[in-house]
Amino acid sequence: MSAWLRFISILLLCHVIINEMEAATPEESSLLEALREASAIAYEKRLNIDDIPEFVTVLRREKLRALGVSNLFEALSLVPGIQTSIMQNGIKKVVMRGYDNPDNFTFDKYRLIIDEHPIQTSIFQNSSYYLNYPVELIERIEVILGPAAALQTSGALTGVIKVTTRIASPEKERAIFVEAGSYREKMAGIVQKFPIGASGDLGMELYYRRHDRGVDAQKYILEGTSPKISKSSEWLRDYTVGAVYNNGGFTLTARSKREHHGNYFGWEEHLELTDKPSMDNRYLYLQGLYKKPLSANEDFGIRLDYSSYKIVSDAQNYAETPIGYLPYTFDLYLSERSWQLETFLSSRRFENHLVKTGFYAYSAKQLGNSLNISFPDGSDTASTMTIDHPKRNTLSLYANDFVTITKDVDGQFGIRYDRLSDMKKGYFSINTSLLFRITPNWSAKAGYGHAFRAPSWIELYSNRLPGIREGDPNLKAEEADMIEGSIIYKPSLHAHLQANLYKSRIKNLLDIYERPRSDPNGPGYANHPSRSSQGLELFYRLQTPINHTMELGYSYNHTDYITERGVHQPMPGVARHKATAAYMINFDASLSLCLYCQYIGTRPVNADTNKEPIPPYTTIDTTFSYITPKGWRLFLSIKNIFDEDVTNLSYYGRHENIIRPGRTGSLSLEFPL
């Protein structure tokens, strides 16, 4: 017995000694905790995107400001694989990996997310009014090219643009910024954070931009008409006001965005009689978000969003009559409100797995719906744009597993199921990707994605009216599949080389063939044959030897398009080759200069129009930035310094191209508070 007691005593003693040996000292515990915090910061700030399986590009405010970028739209044009353009009526287009609808301008194929709020409307499914959002209010932009619904949110057919604003980031941001530039451009804004109580803070943002831009538009004057203007009506009044309140796990956000601008070259590329007609988009959202750790391994979250969207469009056009062209106006008013509810649970309970599951519900209802057409003789037609009060309810379930398979292989497997009430059908979305760490400096990624986009109410339910394209309630959702591979070489923090290869296909593609309004049999929205896209993207960044940063980007894309007459051709308006080069010099920590060069190759036009392709162009921008000892930041930008001719695709093929402004300049200041 005593032997047993001695044996147990020795065991206990050994246990105590081993425990004592293994117990971390305060210094050791402090380091382990700091490493955990650092890993969380790296993930939160997206510093380690080369070391996660997802394909993400991150743009940060500091770099965007140094490049002279002023808003979200300009920032996106930096990304290899994205091409941007402006349509004849001022709507901005972001084309991801070649998937454009050259005759169909209102429907995003990507999803824009602002601070965890997906901008989601069912009328137009368009978020171009947010693209003026200024860089000064942005912390970073994450871009995923390709189907990303299972990873982010439904409807992300060709990609996701995720914006994190300054007031939503944890940093104590306080600044006033002003800008003045060409075409009487004026911009001012403020971002401010106040501590509230022991653990809360309130962030507020306010921004306003206006300009009176216009380019020579003589050739857009319809023969026999006498407009009072000779320049395009590109004036802009744009503002955002927003607030974010944080306390513990609660976040309350309210943000209102308005973009009001002239109709540029007119809805049908005929210059309007005056510059009064306009397009006015307003989007308001309120979001309540609550995140709570349930245990050491589980986190729970719930978010409830309310949003309201309104578009008021006053336009003027010309009707062809035996006595000549007769001007008429059409006033469109559409509005909707929607609710989004999402609950999610993330768990690290299983070793090497981070599992995120969630439930999502979306409910949208159209409220305003009117279309009035007025002729000078007093004959008016009052109607509605679509059938009365369409509704859409979506219920979704999703699950994502971020798994460490081996020391050198990570994976991400995601699936999402969305059921849409008006489509009376459910759709699966899939995202899966793998990361291989070949060596400490080399890694490779491979992935597959599948997503869908349901038709908008305009595509489904537009009434048959003169000048209005008819909807088709039997349309199917378009569905995209993509495979992608990437190789990354990152020998140090200062050098990075990445090459992406992809191939994708969209089936049941939603599009329209434009015909003259006089054609009574003009086709409406329809599901078109599949289109495929393939390409290559290269990106190289080097900071060497001292103080120089060079970034080179190149993308090649070939996307199929079939004209109404059945001609197979590359996508109209999309360049096969795009190249960018940025060169930044930091003379010291306070003074820097950046040169940015962009080449857009020849862009094909619709073969049915027998027009010449759009010629290539190369623009060079330069930006000086200076930080005063008090922390004031001054940026002087000259864009397109050689006044190169920049043109976009003519929507109706009426004119050679849509002309864009040449050289412009701006001076902006940011004062820390």
Partner 1 sequence: MRRIFLFFALFYMSLNAYVYNDSLLLIYAKIIPRIMLLDHTKSDNSAIKKLCILYENGDRLVAKRLKELITRHLPKEKTKFSIRIVAKPYKESEKCDNVSAIVMLDAEKEKIHKVVEFAKKNRILTFSYNKSLLREGAAISLSIGKEIYPIINLSALKSYSLKLDPLLFQIAKIYSEGNIK
Per the CB < 8 A criterion, the answer to whether 647 and 658 are in contact is: yes
> What whole-number distance in Å separates Cα of residue 580 and Cα of residue 576?
14
Please, are residues 601 and 566 in contact by the beta-carbon 8 Å criterion? no
Kindly tell me which of 47 and 286 has the beta carbon lying closer to partner 1. Answer: 47
Q: What is the DSSP string of 553-617?
A: EEEEEEEEEE-TT--EEEPTT--SEEEEEEEEEESSSSEEEEEEEEEE--B---GGGTPPPBPPE
> Residue 219 is which amino acid?
K
CB closer to partner 1 out of 250 and 350 = 350
Q: Judged by CB, which is closer to partner 1: 42, or 382?
A: 42
User: Closest by alpha carbon to 327, among 278, 284, 272?
Assistant: 272
Cα–Cα dist 262/90, whole Å: 7
Q: Are 370 and 384 in contact (CB under 8 A)?
A: yes
Q: Compute the least distance from the CB of residue 507 to partner 1, in Å.
A: 35
592 vs 606, beta carbon nearer partner 1: 592
| Residue 590 buriedness (CB in 10 A; 0-12 / 13-18 / 19+) | middle
Helix, coil or strand: residue 17: helix
Nearer to partner 1, 606 or 622 (CB): 622
Neighbour count for residue 584 (Cβ, 10 Å): 20
Q: How far is the CB of 493 from partner 1 (least distance, A)?
A: 5
Long-range interactions of 178-182: CB distance < 8 A, separation 24+: 178/668, 178/669, 179/70, 179/209, 179/666, 179/667, 179/668, 179/669, 180/666, 180/667, 180/668, 181/211, 181/637, 181/664, 181/665, 181/666, 181/667, 182/213, 182/661, 182/663, 182/664, 182/665, 182/666
Rounded distance between C-alpha atoms, residue 50 and residue 487, angstroms: 10
Least spacing, CB of residue 9 vs partner 1, in Å = 29
User: Are 89 and 267 spatial neighbours (Cβ–Cβ below 8 Å)?
Assistant: yes
- Which lies closer to partner 1 via its Cβ, residue 28 or residue 564? 28
Q: Which residues pair with 164 in a beta bridge?
A: 140
Structure tokens at 605: 């036009």
Nearer Cβ to partner 1 (87/137)? 137
From residue 173, alpha-carbon distances to 58, 368, 431 in Å are: 20, 38, 35
Amino acid at 310: K
Give me the least distance between CB of 45 and partner 1, in Å please.
4
In the complex, least distance from residue 140 CB atom to partner 1, rounded to whole angstroms: 10
d(CA 150, CA 157): 10
Tally the residues of the chain: 673
Rank residues 223 and 588 by Cβ distance to partner 1 and give the closer one. Answer: 588
- Complete DSSP assignment for 308-368: EEEEEEEEEEEEEETTEEEEEEEEEEEEEEEEEEEEEEEE--STTEEEEEEEEEEEEEEEE
CB-nearer residue toward partner 1: 10 or 32: 32
Rank residues 407 and 565 by Cβ distance to partner 1 and give the closer one. 407
d(CA 137, CA 119): 17
Minimum separation from the CB atom of position 31 to partner 1 (A): 4
Tokens of 642: 């050689």
Tokens of 327: 């001007």
User: Can you tell me the distance from the alpha carbon of 386 to that of 472, in angstroms, rounded to the nearest whole number?
Assistant: 11
Pick the closer one to partner 1 by CB: 205 or 410. Answer: 410
Between residues 45 and 210, which has the closer beta carbon with respect to partner 1? 45
Nearest distance, CB of residue 419 and partner 1, angstroms: 34
List residues near partner 1 by CB under 8 A.
Answer: 24, 26-32, 34-35, 37-39, 41-43, 45, 47-48, 50-52, 62, 404, 410, 440, 491-494, 543, 545-549, 581, 583-590, 593, 595, 597, 618, 620, 642
In the bound state with partner 1, the residue whose beta carbon lies nearer, of 457 and 596, is 596
Q: Least distance in Å: CB of 50 to partner 1?
A: 8
How near is the Cβ of 579 to partner 1 at its closest, in Å?
11
Q: How far is the CB of 596 from partner 1 (least distance, A)?
A: 11
Smallest gap from Cβ 374 to partner 1, in A, equals: 51
CB of 193 to partner 1, least distance (A): 17
Tokens of 302: 């719930």
3-class state of residue 467 by DSSP: coil
Which regions of 471-545 does DSSP assign to beta strands (E)?
478-492, 495-507, 509-511, 526-528, 531-543
Minimum CB–partner distance for residue 46 and partner 1 (Å)? 9
Q: How far is the CB of 346 from partner 1 (least distance, A)?
A: 16
Least distance (Å) between residue 525 CB and partner 1: 43
Contact 40/609 with Cβ under 8 angstroms?
A: no
Task: Specify the residue, 241 or 597, whose C-beta has the smaller distance to partner 1.
Answer: 597
Q: Which is nearer to partner 1, 446 or 597 (CB)?
A: 597
* Shortest Cβ 414–partner 1 spacing (Å): 17
Judged by beta carbon, residue 41 or residue 667, the one nearer partner 1 is 41
Considering only CA atoms, which of 140, 197, 137, 188 is closest in space to residue 167? 137
Token look-up 């994708």 returns 504
Least distance to partner 1 from the beta carbon of 19, Å? 16
User: b/e string for 289-319 if b means 16 or more Cβ within 10 A?
Assistant: beeeeeeeeebbbbbebebbbbbbbbbbbbe
**Nearer to partner 1 by C-beta: 140 or 257?**
140
Distance CA 274, CA 431 (A): 49
